[in-house]
Amino acid sequence: MTQTNAEERRRTVIRTAWGFFANSILAAALGVVFARIIEQFGIAVWGAFAGLDPVLTNVVTDFRDSGGGTSDLAYLGGPVAAIAAGVFFLLIYPGAKDRGVGKLTVLWTILFCFRTGFVDVAMVPFSEESNTARALATIEMPEGLDVIIATAGGLGLILIAMAAAPAFLGFSRHLSEVNTPRERFRYVASIALVPAIVGPLLSVPFFLPDQGSDFLTGLPFYGLFVIVTLLAAPQTKHFLAPQLAEERTLSWGLVIGFFIVFLVARFALEPGVPIPPWDENFQWSFRP
């Protein structure tokens, strides 16, 4: 019996290969990038409707028109867009039958979209710099409403983090990888927690220069909410097994996609894109 268990543990280590571990790190980095761009796009679209002449970049949104001091309301478009995108991707997520890198990237994008929106909402009573706080500062709110809003944001993030446990466990290739609470803890730690920490750090070059946004200073802590996912994993017993087996080697398609997104972020978005992009008053040029 001891020899059989030892052999099963060795097979489990082989199944959770370094290639799949690397794929999860790359997917997590892309998830951070997509979530940030979606958030800033939401701000830009709201600003466009408000007549603020927004310019979308790879890390922030600038307004060329102050809107008579009402531009801060447009920042509410950030968390709204992030949460809406998370809901949209969550609705289409169960449709894919495989557990390949495409679905893994969508999963990370869902998590970081919700993280972006819910954390911003949860910070309303604590930070005047959060997008939601800046927007709500432009209107009169009943006393205590900010605490209720923040509580809803924190609760939303916790629920999403807990729901991520069966999603990550569903990427296992064989029951022996996740058959016991200890194995489920180890598996989620390897393909979720470590990528949640390393992935945001890997995304740093996508956001250079940060244009004074201080966004980069928070990236080392960006994925810490996955600790809740890790703690929920041992007690998670029900998850969908993959219907199509996928190889756990490094995906060169994901690597190529990673560098394509990097080029788009640095050389297309970083100079600034007006919203709408056909704005005749905008002069296209690279930032110094």
Tell me whether residue 282 is in a domain. Answer: no
The answer, yes or no, to whether residue 98 has pLDDT greater than 80, is: no
Sequence-distant (6+) residues with CB within 8 A of 106 are 89, 92, 93, 96
Q: Across the chain, what does the average pLDDT equal?
A: 83
**Which of 7-21, 196-210, 237-251 has the weakest average pLDDT?**
7-21
Q: What average pLDDT does the segment 82-104 reach?
A: 83
- The reply to whether 211 falls in a domain is yes
Picking from 172, 40, 237, 196, the residue whose alpha carbon sits closest to that of residue 111 is: 196
pLDDT tens for residues 60-85? 988 887 655 567 888 899 999 999 99
Judge whether residue 277 has pLDDT over 70. Answer: yes
Does any domain span residue 223?
A: yes
- Does residue 276 fall inside a structural domain? no
Is residue 277 in some structural domain? no
| pLDDT score of 6 more than 90 | no
Q: What is the pLDDT of residue 12?
A: 40
Asked whether residue 82 is assigned to any structural domain, the reply reads yes
> What pLDDT is stored for residue 130 in this prediction?
85
Number of separate domains in the chain: 1
Cβ atoms of residues 275 and 47 within 8 Å: yes
Encoding tokens for residue 171? 């990427």
What percent of the chain is predicted at pLDDT more than 70?
Answer: 83
pLDDT of residue 66: 66
Q: What is the mean pLDDT of residues 211-216?
A: 83
Give the pLDDT confidence score for residue 114 in this predicted structure. 97
- According to the model, what pLDDT value does residue 239 have? 72
Residue 242 pLDDT: 54
> Is 283 part of a structural domain of the chain?
no
| Domain encompassing residue 121 | 2-11+18-54+71-269
Model confidence pLDDT, tens digit, residues 218-248? 999 999 999 999 999 988 877 766 554 455 6
DSSP 100-157: SHHHHHHHHHHHHHHHHHHHHHHTTTT-TTSHHHHHHTTS---TTHHHHHHHHHHHHH
So what's the pLDDT on residue 281?
59
Comparing 44-48, 121-125, 136-140, which segment has the lowest mean pLDDT?
136-140
Q: Is it the case that residue 196 has pLDDT exceeding 90?
A: yes
46 assigned to some structural domain? yes
Q: What is the pLDDT of residue 20?
A: 82
